[in-house]
Structures are given as structure tokens and as C-alpha cells.
Amino acid sequence: MVTELGTKVDEKKDRVEVDNRPVRLPSGGVYLMLHKPAGYLVTAEDPRKRKTVMELLPRLPVRVFPVGRLDAETEGLLLFTNDGELAHRLTHPRYEIKKLYEVRIKGFVEDRELEKLEKGVFIDGRKTAPARARIIYRNREKSLLSLEIHEGRKHEVRKMLYALGFEVKKLRRVAFAGLTLKGLRRGFWRRLRPEEAEKLKKLTGLAD
């Protein structure tokens, strides 16, 4: 029985009851997914009044922030949360969280260039971690690649292709940490289902 004001409750260990009835404690965690369109900055606000991804989200009773970044012209899956520790782990290289991109490139990509991506290329004076790369289609004028990485360095995908002499014409993140854009139209958002949020926590060691 609690007799003092301000008593703290451990949600994992304590059972809370009022009049012998259990009380469900709010977890406080908010987890959203956005299908980001091109042309939006991934920031809370911009002093130059350019469009930001926050304009695409609903009004919420708590402040959420983006998990990692996509540059303005990159489309695709972007997560938002108010869970700082989860966000940190999802973006830290130590946890090797997989990110899958579709990359449209000007020119014909040879198999040997895919092998270079998979072994790692030098960008900003440092070699990238091995990636998984495959051709979706290619012809003389353009190629579409699927590229999976887990480092998340700034502009990493664009720089990797630039290091091989290719210009990226369009970039879209189609999956992140096992989540995909399936059923979510460009410019729209949805809340993660409880089991999806729980899977992210397990993936990063925050849950058993």
C-alpha cells in the first residue's frame, strides 16, 4: 500500500491497483512511420521557411522527432518517436540496423561494380561496410538497384555510387529495421502497431 505522495512506480516490477482493480499505466511511447516525399527537409523547423516533414504529421500531445535523416530529395520510410533511447540504437552503427534503398542511376551498372559496393568503397577517406546490392533492371541509359546497408553515414548511398562514377537520379528508402512501406502512400503516415514497436525494441536489445 502506498501512503506517501510522489511514490515512484516501476512499470516492469510493480502492480498498481485502485479499489482492488488493476490500473493500466500509459507507456508514453509514440511510434510513427511516414512515407516521405521528395522536397521536404528532415528537421523540426527551418529558418528559411522551407517545407519540413513535421508538416506532414498530425498534431500530437507529445513531441516526436525523426529517427535519423533522409536528405531533402530522398523519398521513403522515415520513423518518428519520442523514445530517445530507441532512436539512438536504431541509428547507431553498433546495432547494424538494416536499411534497404531503391536507387535509380544514370548509366549501365556492371556486375563488377556491384561487387565493389558489396565489398565496400572509400567515401570521405573511410571504407564503407559491406553492403548487399542487386540489379532490379538496367539498360544503356539507366539502372535501378536494390542496395542494403547498415551504417547510415551522411549521404552514404549517394556517395557510394558517386565514388564509382555514377549519378543518382532518384533515391527511395523502402525498408528500415524490418519495416516496409507496404500499403502506405507517399506523403501519408501511420502509427506503428504495438507488435511492430515491440519488434524494434527487441531488435535493439531494449526488450527480451
Strands 167-176 and 179-180 turn out to be antiparallel
For 60, other C-beta atoms within 10 Å of its C-beta total: 11
Output DSSP code: residue 144: E
DSSP 35-52: EEPTT-BSSS--TT---B
Give me the torsion for CA of 12, 14, 17, 22, rounded to 10°: 30
CA distances from 60 to 85, 140, 154, 190 (A): 20, 48, 29, 13
Where in the sequence numbering do the catalytic residues fall?
71
Question: Of 69, 38, 41, 67, nearest to 55 (Cα)?
Answer: 41
Q: What are the cell numbers at 72?
A: 531533402
Residues 49-54: contacts with CB under 8 Å, at least 24 apart? 53/78
